[in-house]
Structure 1
Amino acid sequence: MCEALKDTYQLFEEIGRGKFGTVLRCFSPTRNDFFACKLVEKRLLVDPSDRECLETEPKIMTLLSPHPNIVQIIDAIDSEDSLCVVMELCRADTLYDRMVTQHVLSEAEAAAYMKQLLQALAHCHSLGVVHRDVKPENLLFGLNGRLKLADFGSAVLSFLQGGKAMLEGVVGTPYYVAPEVLMGRLYDERVDIWSAGVVMYIMLSGIPPFDGESAQEIFEAVVRSNLRFPPRAFRLVSSAAKDLMRKMVCRDVSRRLSAEQALCHPWILNGGDTSSMTDMTG
């Protein structure tokens, strides 16, 4: 373990575990506060792309900080055998945990979470950052209860030399990945909007829009992109919510909403309260 880390922070219990390391609760005597320390062992990074992600993540988090809906980076300590990223401490449960416990969220609760997620994505996209792995497991809650977008290990910068670059490479999680990613096409920040729309769909129904018995079957369902709203699962879901999901989980990228556009949708603006909205069909 990096000696500079032990010199600067007091380390406590493990609060999380990832593919390449652990997350520990730590205390900074100089700041007089507790934080989360992501400790990555470099010997486990065999793939060069994993090493690149390791080096890029702290830079991207620094670029994005501070923002109320993005986990804030506090410090990064690099050594020969490990990288330690110190971040703000969040609550133990993720949005995924809450979805498992509640199964289906109310439209008001789902709208509150979606607004915060879209605000985080709008900030990322305005700075050229594409997250590429938006899913409930990567949505944490700050100690004040605010939703926080986390885990920028797959994130990339799409702004190059003052312009906008199209991206490539299959990155993401089966249920949430956009079809253009799986089809090997060049893509942009709107892959995050697709993923956020899938999160919304599952929050309101308790089921994924594209399913299968294996990752391959899920991928095939995503590529077909046949978005449906089974009456049994969506009986109580408003037409306004369905309208927003159609415009986010939209196969035609040119018609897919941006984060800023989605934030202006009536369902978001009304906080999921559909009582005063005109009916949205089609």
Structure 2
Amino acid sequence: MCEALKTQYQVNEEIGRGRFGTIFRCFHPLSNEPYACKLIDKSLLADSTDRECLQNEPKFMTLLSPHPNILQIFDVFEDDDYLSIVMDLCQPHTLFDRIVNGPIPETQAALLIKSLLEALAHCHRMGVAHRDIKPDNVLFDSADNLKLADFGSAEWFGDGSTMSGVVGTPYYVAPEVVMGREYDEKVDVWSCGVILYIMLAGIPPFYGDSAAEIFEAVVRANLRFPSRIFRNVSPAAKDLLRKMICRDPSRRFSAEQALSKFITFCRRSLRVRVSR
């Protein structure tokens, strides 16, 4: 653990563990504010891709902060052995834990996806594509505010450049990524659309018994709305899903378009008062 971290924060109990590091609860002695500290063991970074992810997370989180729906970074400490990132303290359960047991009401799904689209639109305005949008990377703070996290796979596209490389998680990755084509930031919109579909249906739109089968289903992109599952889902929600989970990226909504459409959808179809 970095000595500089220990001199500025009191590090307490472990609250989570990931592939490369451990998350601890900590607090600042002067302000007495609680935070989370992600301690990354550099010895576990096996290749250049892992090391790039290590540097991406604090770089992009710093660029994108502050935003009410993006996990905020407060301090970074690094030595030869560890990288320590002090950030928002969130609840132990992610969006995945909220949706794993089946569909959730459309009004609740609308508010969650609106917050996620707010975060995504901000990322894209700043020229950053997340590239690994999935429920596991969506957290909630103590006030239950949604926080987009894990920018290890993020990429800069602000100069108008396209991106490449198979990055993401099978159920949520866009078809152009699977096919090895160059792509733009709309891959994130596809992933958000898949999350919305899962929240409303309780199942993913494209699935299989293996990663290869899932990828094949994603590439076909045969989007369906089974009547027995979607009988209580509004036409407005299904229309939005078609525009977000659109196989042709040139016709797929941008994050800004999806957010604008979603605000109209919330106001007119769900009668939920929202403001940008």
- Counterpart residue identity of residue 253, structure 1: P
Task: Give the partner amino acid of 1:18.
Answer: G
CA offsets 1:103-141 (integer angstroms, 9 cap, x no match): 211111011011101110000000110000101111111
Deviations along 1:244-266, whole A, 9 cap, x unmatched? 0000000010000011111121x
1:12 aligns with: 12
Deviation, 1:273, is 6.0
Instruction: Quote the residue 2:232 is aligned against.
Output: 236
Q: What is the aligned partner in structure 2 of residue 254 from structure 1?
A: 250
Alignment root-mean-square deviation, CA = 1.3
Q: How many residues align?
A: 271
Poorly superposed stretches of 4+, deviation over 6 Å: none
Aligned to 2:274: none
Contact 1:108 1:273 in 2 (8 A): no
Gaps of at least 5 residues in structure 2 are 272-276
2: CA distance, partners of 1:109 / 1:271:
11
Alignment of 1:186-205 (within 5 A): 186-205=182-201
Partners in 2 of 1:30 and 1:176 — Cα distance?
42
Alignment of 1:4-43 (within 5 A): 4-43=4-43
- Structure-2 residue corresponding to 1:279: none
Please name the residue that 2:86 is paired with. 86
Deviation track 1:173-206 (CA, whole Å, cap 9, x = no partner) reads 0000000001010011000000000000000000
Of residues 221, 243, 261, the one that matches 1:225 is: 221
1:76-121 superposed Cα distances (whole Å, 9 cap, x missing partner): 00110010011011122211111124x2111110110111011100
> For residue 87 of structure 1, what is the amino acid of its counterpart?
M
Secondary structure of 1:264's match? helix
The within-5 A match list for 1:48-127 is 48-101=48-101, 103-127=102-126
Q: Which residue of 2 aligns with 1:213?
A: 209
Q: Contact between 1:128 and 1:157, CA under 8 Å: does it hold in 2?
A: yes
Deviation at 1:271, TM superposition (A): 2.3
Three-state SS of the structure 1 residue aligned to 2:93 is coil
Is 2:135 the counterpart of 1:136?
yes
TM-score, normalising length: structure 1 = 0.93
Identity of aligned residues (%): 62
- TM-score normalised to structure 2 length: 0.95
